[in-house]
Amino acid sequence: MLSKCVNKSDLGKIYSLLGSLEAAVPLLAAPLFTVVYNSTLETFPGAVFLVQASIFAVSGLGFSYVFYLLTRTGQDFSLLVEDNDDYQENIVRDENSLISQEI
């Protein structure tokens, strides 16, 4: 969905940001789960799973909210998928038009 909401020229920026966040999550999650597990080992060792489930629930709610906002505004997620099929053809056409303008 995110790739359908930005210009084609910004796709690299979006994917690099997502890749960086994906790489940073284990660096933050492992210490969090370790602290929760060590703190609740005597009383409730399954608290780690509740923390993980709550993180997934918050993520799911956030995703659902963004999806609702985008569909409410009439965002069509299939529009750019069709444009991607002939993206290379457009580049070739643009290069050919530049060459013909130079001649």
**Domain range holding 62?**
2-102
CB distance 37 to 45 below 8 Å: yes
Number of domains in the chain: 1
Q: Residues with Cβ < 8 Å from 56, sequence gap 6 or more?
A: none
User: Residue 4: what pLDDT?
Assistant: 72
Model confidence pLDDT, tens digit, residues 38-68: 999 999 989 999 999 999 999 999 989 888 8
Supply the pTM of this predicted model.
Answer: 0.61
Q: Is the pLDDT of residue 19 over 60?
A: yes
Q: Is the pLDDT of residue 29 over 60?
A: yes
